[in-house]
């Protein structure tokens, strides 16, 4: 599936590098993502995917290279700074509190306080407002929840992913990074997540997808950037490659044309 990107670069990475002592996790990574585009980040274990995602999320700071976001050079010193710029990351564990309900997880660490000055001063939450906004956010993603008061631990894997994606795009994100979003899901729930990815990209959000599922990548993404031993070795349109060639690029058995 190929969409028309919006012609505006959301993220550009130039010659990024990151070392941990004597270990070079990232040696030379360069690529870009346009708004409205879905790009797969592929690589074998140890290729540097996790380190790169952590750099983009503000968890690690690169040692060298440049990152440009919406055309402006950025230095991400912490995750809060990344989120403030419009970079949201949905990690594989989803970072949810199972005992909390849908709205509480959607607004985790971004709770809406009461409009009453006295109640606001003591940190009283406006739970009704959070519930209303949660419904709107999930409706935007065409996600139906059986009961908004239900605890997240009672929901399916696909429903939990929908909440995590809604939380990411709810704050005006320009780039959403998704780490193995369908790894623990069945066929039907994986298809639902694919639809969510297509929907948010159609709304102009750039998506960087990390996945080992080649079929998922081919069905969902426009391009693939391949990392090998800390370097970006291929940037290919998925309409131009086969699944077998992608695997060969990942393992180092083939080189990009």
Specify whether 179 is located in the same domain as 128: no
Determine the structural domain holding residue 228 and report its residue range: 1-86+173-257
Residue 94 falls within a domain, yes or no? no
pLDDT value, residue 180: 83
> Which CATH number does the domain housing residue 188 bear?
3.40.50.300
Q: Are 106 and 134 in contact (CB under 8 A)?
A: yes
Rounded to whole angstroms, the Cα distance separating 223 from 215 reads 13
**Domain end marker among 142, 171, 200:** 171
Residue 213 falls within a domain, yes or no? yes
Specify whether 153 is located in the same domain as 201: no
Q: Check pLDDT > 70 for residue 6.
A: no
CA distances from 33 to 158, 211, 237 (A): 26, 17, 12
Rounded to whole angstroms, the Cα distance separating 257 from 251 reads 15
pTM score, two decimals? 0.82
Q: For the chain, what is the domain count?
A: 2
* CA proximity to 41, closest of 166, 169, 181, 142: 181
Show contacts of 185-193: CB within 8 Å, 24+ apart: 185/157, 185/158, 185/161, 186/157, 188/158, 189/156, 189/157, 189/158, 189/161, 190/158, 190/216, 192/158, 192/161, 192/162, 193/158, 193/161, 193/162, 193/165
Q: Are 58 and 14 in contact (CB under 8 A)?
A: no
Residue 143 falls within a domain, yes or no? yes
Rounded to whole angstroms, the Cα distance separating 23 from 200 reads 36
Q: Tell me the per-residue pLDDT of 115-151, one tens digit each, with 9 for 90 and over.
A: 888 888 888 888 888 888 888 877 777 777 777 778 8
**Number of other residues whose CB lies within 10 A of the CB of residue 241:** 19
**Domain end marker among 152, 171, 190:** 171
Specify whether 187 is located in the same domain as 72: yes
Specify whether 111 is located in the same domain as 11: no
**Domain end marker among 122, 141, 171:** 171
* CA proximity to 141, closest of 112, 161, 111, 126: 161
Q: Check pLDDT > 50 for residue 1.
A: no
Specify whether 136 is located in the same domain as 256: no
Specify whether 245 is located in the same domain as 201: yes
Q: Tell me the per-residue pLDDT of 198-214, one tens digit each, with 9 for 90 and over.
A: 888 998 999 999 988 88
Rounded to whole angstroms, the Cα distance separating 232 from 43 reads 9
Specify whether 219 is located in the same domain as 248: yes
Q: Tell me the per-residue pLDDT of 73-125, one tens digit each, with 9 for 90 and over.
A: 999 999 989 988 999 888 776 677 888 888 888 887 778 888 888 888 888 88
* CA proximity to 165, closest of 149, 153, 177: 177
């Amino acid at each position: 599936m190929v969409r028309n990107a919006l012609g505006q670069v959301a993220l550009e990475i130039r010659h990024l590098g990151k070392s941990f002592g004597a270990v070079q996790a990232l040696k030379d990574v360069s690529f870009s993502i346009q708004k409205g585009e879905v790009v797969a980040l592929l690589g074998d274990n140890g290729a540097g995917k996790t380190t790169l995602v952590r750099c983009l999320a503000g968890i690690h700071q690169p040692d060298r290279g440049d990152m440009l976001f919406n055309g402006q050079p950025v230095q991400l010193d912490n995750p809060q700074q990344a989120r403030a710029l419009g970079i949201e990351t949905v990690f594989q564990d989803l970072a949810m509190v199972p005992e909390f309900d849908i709205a509480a997880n959607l607004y985790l660490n971004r709770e809406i306080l009461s409009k009453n000055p006295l109640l606001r001063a003591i940190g009283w939450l406006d739970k009704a407002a959070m519930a209303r906004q949660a419904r709107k956010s999930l409706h935007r993603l065409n996600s139906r929840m059986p009961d908004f008061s239900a605890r997240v631990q009672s929901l399916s894997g696909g429903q939990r992913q929908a909440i995590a994606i809604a939380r990411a795009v709810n704050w005006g994100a320009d780039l959403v990074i998704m780490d193995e979003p369908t790894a623990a899901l069945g066929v039907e729930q994986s298809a639902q997540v694919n639809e969510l990815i297509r929907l948010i990209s159609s709304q102009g959000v750039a998506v960087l997808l990390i996945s080992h599922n080649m079929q998922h990548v081919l069905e969902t993404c426009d391009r693939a950037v391949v990392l090998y031993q800390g370097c970006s070795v291929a940037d290919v349109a998925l309409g131009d490659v086969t699944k077998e060639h992608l695997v060969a690029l990942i393992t180092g058995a083939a080189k990009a044309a």
